[in-house]
């Protein structure tokens, strides 16, 4: 059994804490929100009064926080000064590549093994212990990282050195964000051309337009039973989250001088959808904006 510290017990961290305690591990938990802390304690975690207290004596220190600034602050004020010698430090938040690399440098200089390990799988994956972790860390550290994450994981994959996990996550979500808009545009056009969208789904699924956004996550309600489109675009990957990841991707692209014009367009479209009040809806709900049927989205 492993003694974890887990800082950040929100939608994702709360589920991760519950999965770890259910598997018999000790979780020393901290969150600025007392409600989040109470929920984690009810799931069997040890509620701590501060981040330094949570970190104290832990073998593995996990963070699941909103953005790079939060992670950097918690590392500098709580983790690096208070983590036990030999503790393994893993940040599971989605943050910018530059901050992830900065944190890795600081942690390594302080003598810690450290990894960035952002996730795919969402709130449902966190609650079920079926997340995919994309890891950036030195090769010799990976086996320990994999062992520490495996109770919460379906897959743990090493992307490369420090920051590579974050790079993998934002590049994947850039691709996903763009491909979903392509699928939405094709479905909206099929409809207006009097081609039954469900028939188009069947044809494109077996043709060169086939992709995950179409066949696993179809934005048109009906063809894929498990897709959020059949639940009024609830309970999937929030548009606000997609927007966050596209902003990170655009920032990273600008920092290395790479041109990503389709991702820029995608960001603008999701931003519009968000500003119209649909930030909590699944990102595939953009279909209804392109169809001019936003009124049907409640
Ligand atoms: P959330 O806002 O629900 O939770 C974040 C938690 O961090 C909050 O409870 C907040 O109180 C706490 N927090 C903030 N600053 C803190 C500090 N200094 N010390 C202690 N606690 C602090 O967010 P979430 O949905 O759980 O997402 C967490 C991370 O996971 C984000 O980086 C997000 O991009 C990533 N992620 C989320 C999803 C998703 O579907 N929600 C999917 C993949 C990745």
How confident is the model at residue 122, as a pLDDT? Answer: 86
Find the mean pLDDT for residues 108-114: 97
How confident is the model at residue 220, as a pLDDT? Answer: 98
Ligand 1 atom at minimal distance to the Cα of residue 30 = 20
Say how many Å lie between the first and final Cα of the chain, rounded.
46
8 Cβ closer than 6 Å to some ligand 1 atom: yes
Q: Which percentage of the chain shows pLDDT scores above 70?
A: 100
**Torsion angles phi and psi, residue 49, rounded to 5:** -80, -15
| For the chain, domain boundaries | 3-162, 167-297
pLDDT digits (tens, 9 = 90+) for 197-225: 999 999 999 999 999 999 999 999 999 99
123 Cβ closer than 6 Å to some ligand 1 atom: yes
Q: Class assignment of domain 3-162?
A: alpha beta
Q: Which percentage of the chain shows pLDDT scores above 90?
A: 96
Mean pLDDT of the chain, nearest integer: 97
Q: Kindly indicate the confidence band of residue 296, based on its pLDDT and cuts at 50, 70 and 90.
A: confident
Mutation to probe ligand 1, out of 38, 40, 50, 65 (largest number of atoms < 8 A from CB): 65
Find the mean pLDDT for residues 15-27: 98
Residues with catalytic function = 169
CA of 93 to the centre of ligand 1 (A): 7
CA of 276 to the centre of ligand 1 (A): 23
65 Cβ closer than 6 Å to some ligand 1 atom: yes
pLDDT digits (tens, 9 = 90+) for 83-105: 999 999 999 999 999 999 999 99
> How far apart are the C-alpha atoms of 77 and 75, rounded to whole Å?
6
> How far apart are the C-alpha atoms of 286 and 293, rounded to whole Å?
10
The CATH-assigned architecture of domain 167-297 is: Orthogonal Bundle (1.10)
pLDDT digits (tens, 9 = 90+) for 161-195: 999 999 999 999 999 999 999 999 999 999 999 99
How confident is the model at residue 232, as a pLDDT? Answer: 95
How confident is the model at residue 36, as a pLDDT? Answer: 97
| DSSP code of residue 283 | G
Q: Quick check: 44 pLDDT over 90?
A: yes
131 Cβ closer than 6 Å to some ligand 1 atom: no
> How far apart are the C-alpha atoms of 160 and 137, rounded to whole Å?
6
pLDDT digits (tens, 9 = 90+) for 221-277: 999 999 999 999 998 899 999 999 999 999 999 999 999 999 999 999 999 999 999
12 Cβ closer than 6 Å to some ligand 1 atom: yes
How confident is the model at residue 17, as a pLDDT? Answer: 98
Q: What is the model's pTM?
A: 0.94
How confident is the model at residue 124, as a pLDDT? Answer: 87
Q: Quick check: 298 pLDDT over 90?
A: no
How confident is the model at residue 81, as a pLDDT? Answer: 98
Q: Tokens 């009024």 sit at which residue?
A: 232
Find the mean pLDDT for residues 113-139: 95
> How far apart are the C-alpha atoms of 98 and 115, rounded to whole Å?
14
Q: Quick check: 40 pLDDT over 90?
A: yes
Find the mean pLDDT for residues 47-64: 98
**CA count, 13 A, side-chain hemisphere, 102:** 12
Is 167-297 in the same CATH topology as 3-162? no
How confident is the model at residue 94, as a pLDDT? Answer: 97
């Amino acid at each position: 059994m492993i003694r974890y510290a887990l800082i950040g017990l929100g939608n994702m961290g709360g589920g991760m804490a519950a999965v770890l305690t259910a598997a018999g591990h000790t979780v020393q938990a901290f969150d600025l929100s007392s409600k989040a802390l109470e929920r984690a304690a009810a799931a069997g975690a040890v509620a701590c009064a501060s981040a330094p207290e949570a970190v104290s004596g832990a073998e593995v220190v996990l963070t699941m926080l909103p953005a790079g600034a939060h992670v950097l602050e918690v590392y500098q004020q709580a983790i690096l000064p208070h983590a036990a010698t030999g503790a393994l430090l893993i940040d599971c938040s989605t943050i910018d590549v530059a901050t992830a690399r900065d944190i890795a440098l600081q942690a390594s200089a302080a003598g810690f093994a450290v990894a960035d390990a952002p996730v795919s799988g969402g709130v449902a994956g966190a609650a079920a212990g079926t997340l995919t972790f994309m890891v950036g860390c030195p090769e010799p550290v990976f086996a320990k990282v994999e062992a520490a994450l495996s109770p919460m994981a379906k897959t743990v994959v090493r992307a490369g050195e420090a920051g590579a996990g974050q790079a993998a996550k934002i590049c994947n979500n850039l691709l996903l964000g763009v491909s979903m808009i392509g699928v939405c545009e094709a479905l909206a056009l099929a409809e207006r051309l009097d081609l039954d969208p469900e028939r188009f789904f069947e044809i494109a699924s077996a043709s060169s337009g086939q992709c995950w956004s179409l066949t696993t996550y179809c934005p048109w309600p009906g063809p894929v039973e498990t897709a959020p489109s059949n639940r009024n675009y609830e309970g999937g990957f929030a548009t606000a989250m997609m927007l966050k990841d596209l902003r990170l991707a655009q920032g990273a692209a600008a920092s290395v001088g790479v041109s990503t014009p389709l991702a820029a367009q995608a960001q603008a479209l999701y931003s519009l959808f968000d500003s119209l009040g649909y930030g909590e809806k699944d990102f595939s709900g953009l279909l209804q904006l392109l169809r001019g049927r936003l009124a049907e989205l409640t």
